[in-house]
A and B are shown apart, each in its own frame.
Chain A
């Protein structure tokens, strides 16, 4: 297993390098004046221009610019946001945890829920439930996540007024301790619920397929032959073997969700990394755009790595080599 881990990590590094190369290449093709591109919407005074050209070696040949870029990255210099007047790294580090909180909450609620639904729908013997299920999945898969968010806002925040419509917290907050937690939870509720419903659907569909396949395996018949109750069979044999592939897929999905957070954060004005990206795009703040994209790419790669290792650890067949 150790060898497998080293192998995967070694694969991830060139991948990251490749991403940086791709990003750098795309940057070179940005239309317009590179200095203007770096600065954004603001006019560039003459002295400033010279300083930037010098600092970022804009007039150097391509290879040395590339090396410079890599060097900067390794030093933690991902760029500077002229729009927000802060280093990009600071911005990313400040906002990433918020997105993690949101996506994490959504997944932690949604995936187990989805797994449960998947198991139930796969093991029920009533045809009506089965039919209901197929129709429900069909519809659920067609609903865009962000539209679901809008609907939830309309119903729960606007019409029922139970929950706030946007943001991470009130503008002025005087609560402390548990009350503070509760208050924050109210703001987290709707966006996390959107995530949760969305991912629960996907998890449920995967789980159902996985369970159906597991039920066709021989060892389920052996379990029955042993005289195990239906519940024991599901808990001890079906669940573990069926949820393995689902958990791994959802693990990959979590990485992707970091990217998809963009949509939900926009609906709820949740100040995470997705919103940062959108604002940067609107303000043509290219350095922030690049910084965020790099971060998200790395997050995806790392997440995939973790999931691969997890899968290896959980499945004894893989853990012990071919």
Chain B
């Protein structure tokens, strides 16, 4: 049961031997220590692991969105549509964030939205600059609707702090979709939300995945989410990938003891509670 659209063509994203090391105080933290990841067009891949496993750092390094910390090592290959992202110039990299490129959604939507700018403007900002104002507005509303917000005119005029957590997360998704990416990375998209809202956002993601046929990478420690959404899974522990398989195989017959433990924990505590046990 490989992901849909998995041709024998080159994968959309091909990460080889990625290492990301930070210096914290006097020590070096090996956040990502030699990781290989592969994602085909239209696939939905999950990256799971506990906090500190490096899953977030991995994708941030891939998308070039690491926070301002002292990086002592960043090596390996990051091939996106054939080009190594590490060798790209600033301008070319920015182009990769545009049409048919990649995009990322983060865990804490409040911190990731500009508090002094209206939502509409923040969403429209990511649209191609050559659109007319009317067209941009129309597209912006469309994006908000697609992200699961039924009243885009209302939302567009608001400021981030006026919206609920679930709405903000959907705004973040709308922003990420605005450039029509080929790959969307979602870092803990449901963790900061209430249970009911989690389901809603999950449905939105599912719908997007089906309708847009874009590749999706879900970073989470919620195995239930992965089971619902993903075709394939990578399991990370302490900066390394310890196991990878398609979802069904992974859950039925994990080959790695760590994976087995994760699955057992999540099963025992039920889907909703599993998040806390693994965090």
Residues of A within 8 A of B (CB): 215-219, 221-230, 236-237, 240-241, 244, 314-317, 320
Contact = CB atoms under 8 A, between A and B. Distances in A.
Contact of A229 (B94, B162, B176): B94
Contact of B97 (A215, A216, A217, A227): A227
A226 B161 contact: no
A51 to B, nearest CB: 62
13 contacts: A219-B111, A221-B65, A222-B106, A224-B64, A225-B104, A227-B96, A227-B179, A316-B115, A316-B159, A317-B116, A317-B159, A320-B159, A320-B161
B82 to A, nearest CB: 19
Q: Which 5 A-B pairs have the closest CB atoms?
A: A227-B97, A218-B111, A218-B112, A226-B126, A219-B114
Contact of A226 (B96, B111, B179): B179
Given A224-B97, A225-B65, A236-B117, 10 more contacts: A216-B67, A219-B111, A221-B65, A224-B64, A225-B97, A226-B175, A227-B179, A316-B116, A320-B161, A320-B162
Contacts of B176: 225
Contact of B67 (A221, A227, A228): A221
A101 B104 CA distance: 51
B159 A221 contact: no
Contacts of B42: none
A144 to B, nearest CB: 36
A240 B95 CA distance: 26
B32 interface: no
A169 to B, nearest CB: 44
A223 to B, nearest CB: 8
Question: Main SS of chain A's interface residues?
Answer: helix
Contacts of A229: 94
Interface string B112-154: 1111110000100110000000000000000000000000000
B244 interface: no
Nearest to A232: B125
A315 B116 contact: yes
A66 B68 CA distance: 60
A173 B67 CA distance: 61
A315 B90 CA distance: 32
A320 B117 CA distance: 14
B108 interface: yes
B108 A218 contact: yes
Contact of A241 (B63, B95, B112, B115): B115
Contacts of A222: 106, 112-114, 122, 172, 175
A94 B19 CA distance: 70
B65 A241 contact: no
Most chain A Cβ neighbours within 10 Å, of B63, B106, B114, B126: B114
Contact of B115 (A215, A228, A317): A317
**B interface residue count range (under 10 / 10 to 19 / 20 to 34 / 35 or more):** 20 to 34
A222 B174 CA distance: 12
Nearest to B161: A317
B259 interface: no
A226 B97 contact: yes
Nearest to B101: A227
B144 to A, nearest CB: 15
A34 B112 CA distance: 65
Contact of B126 (A215, A227, A317): A227
B56 interface: no
Contacts of B101: 227
B65 A227 contact: no
Contacts of B126: 226-228
A94 to B, nearest CB: 42
B125 A230 contact: no
A208 to B, nearest CB: 14
Interface in B161-178: 161-162, 172, 175-176, 178
Contacts of B172: 222
A217 B94 contact: no
Nearest to B99: A227
Given A216-B67, A221-B65, A316-B159, A227 B98 contact: yes
Nearest to B103: A225
A223 B64 CA distance: 12
Nearest to B125: A226
Nearest to B111: A218
B131 to A, nearest CB: 15
A230 B104 contact: no
Interface string B214-244: 0000000000000000000000000000000
A241 B159 contact: no
B113 A227 contact: no
Nearest to A237: B114
Given A225-B104, A317-B159, A236 B125 contact: yes
Contacts of B67: 216, 221
A227 B95 contact: yes
A195 to B, nearest CB: 30
A223 B112 CA distance: 9
B177 to A, nearest CB: 11
Contacts of A216: 67-68
A215 B67 CA distance: 9
Contacts of A316: 115-116, 159, 161
